Amino acid sequence: MEAKTKTQICVPVCEATLTAMQQAAVRASEVGDLIELRFDCLTRNELNRATGALDTLLSTMDHPVIITLRPAEQGGGGSFELKYRRDFFDRPFTKDFVDIELDLATMLMAIRNVKVDWKRVICSHHDFQRVPADLTQIYERLAATPARILKIAVQAQDVIDCLPVFKLMERARIEGREIIAIAMGEAGIASRILGPSRGGFLTYGSLGEQTGTAPGQVPAAELRQLYRVDEIDSETGITGLIGCPVSHSISPHIQNAAFAATRVNAVFIPFEVHDLRAFVTRMANPLTRELNWNLRGLSVTAPHKSAVMDLLDSVHEVAREIGAVNTIVIDQDHLLGYNTDAAALIDALKERVGDLKGANCAVVGAGGAARAALWGLRSQGAATTLFARDLKKASLVADRFAAHLKPLRNSSFREFDVVVNATPLGTRGPLAEETPAIAEQLGGARLVYDLVYNPSETRFLREARAAGCETLGGLTMLVNQAVEQFRLWTGIDPSYEVMQHAATRALSNE
């Protein structure tokens, strides 16, 4: 196999003034291989100033540069009419690359004495709303230009929207064309991480979390350090998290740290999945998937833990009893389901309270995590009560695990030894300030256990401490279950300390 060449990461710079652009370009050169100067982000006065000093500006750059002046309808920062863009680019650039949209490329092709050097041109098309139905035709129109490199960036709503993007990469590879193909948005992150290994000319990475110039842009430092894009090749094992949402998860930090420490050629990627059946059929199942990739395993989170069971070839006995799968192993042509949540949850709890036999335990929630908690507590001989808002839905779960059932509203947990939050309430994001119970309800309980791990300090835990309860966060459980997932995917025992350190560091950087 040929040696893997270093992935080219382009860092876009989008600033309102020329001075700020120059300063940001210096920072970008520290983490990227190319720098995209987004001239459309400049004010009109600053752009005129930059245009007059363009040769001087470019001569100071020690990295390859992509010059961009994008119109608003293609995601640009300003309103630049076609004639203005034509005059800007109709000059003999001697530095690296220029990014020209298809409409402008078509106009320039019609000019007899055009000064554009097409060997430096990236001909691009952007759609910030969707994956257009005529994507193939758009590719063919781009390919009909003399441009050296083709670029297509479309908005992904689901990870399956990456499929047409990957297919364009494959077509370009067969046809001997250089291409940049990106699925934007959180659902398109896989295209940014895997694109270069599938023939993409480069991938874009931001300077930081808040400086991206397109939805879903991953910081350049994370592409290189967390996802190790330079090491990804056609044989790399692909693993990842399927759920919705997944952007809050620190699982990529945990699993990728373990892959790096054990020197396993694999990567863990967040996959935002809305249409579960379509994902399993079109991307996961080896017999039906449309993507040629070395998919080895998946971690499953809300809301798919129960629904995924019907789409698997076999489900481990414990997972079947629980009624929820959080781990999928792909073994040749088979999808195998496991549950590592229950054992991880109980192990973390027993480290704190010891023997659970006879303990009076409350579980809040009725989803996959609640099922794992009820099964695990029951296996230890604890008495369980399920609290939920929707009693009709929860009654099926309570009956399955022989738990008492009570309404969550106006409930009291005074009589319980352990209270477990198995809902997503308190998770970083829109739910961050929500809690299933407040201090007045929790007073008298011995230990309050929140399975939410991000943030590590949830409102539920703050309410519990205000009530005088002992508290336990979800990080230990998260790492415990991740360790077992890694074993199932690789057959290797990872270092718990490496994974815990990665998790703690990721949370401290949130």
Specify the amino acid at residue 225: Q
Structure tokens given for 57: 């500006």
Q: Which residue type does 483 have?
A: V
Whether the bond between 245 and the residue before it is cis, its omega within 30 degrees of 0, is yes
**CB-count burial class (<10 Å; 0-12, 13-18, 19+) for 395:** middle
Cis peptide before 215 (omega within 30 of 0): no
In the block, residue with structure tokens 């738990």? 403
* Three-state secondary structure of 453-496: CCCCCCHHHHHHHHCCCEEECCHHHHHHHHHHHHHHHHCCCCCH
Q: If you ran DSSP here, which 8-state letter would residue 284 be given?
A: I
Closest by CA to 92, choosing from 59, 120, 122, 53, is: 120
- CB-based contacts of 173, cutoff 8 Å, min separation 6: 198, 199
Cα–Cα dist 134/15, whole Å? 33
Catalytic-role residue among 95, 119, 151, 305? 305
For 226-278, give the DSSP string: TS-GGG--TT-EEEEEEESS-TT--HHHHHHHHHHHHT-SEEEEEEE-S-HHH
Concerning whether 392 is annotated as a catalytic residue, the answer is no
Backbone angles phi, psi at 326, to 5 degrees: -115, 0
Nearest Cα neighbor of 343 from 373, 313, 364 is 373
Closest CA to 196 of 144, 138, 267, 257: 267
Residue 399, judged by CB atoms within 10 A of its CB (0-12, 13-18, 19+), counts as exposed
Q: How many CB atoms lie under 10 A from the CB of residue 318?
A: 17
Distance between CA 385 and CA 371 in Å, rounded? Answer: 12
Give me the half-sphere count of Cα atoms (radius 13 Å) on the Cβ side of residue 427.
16
First to last CA, the chain: 39
- Please identify every residue annotated as catalytic: 305
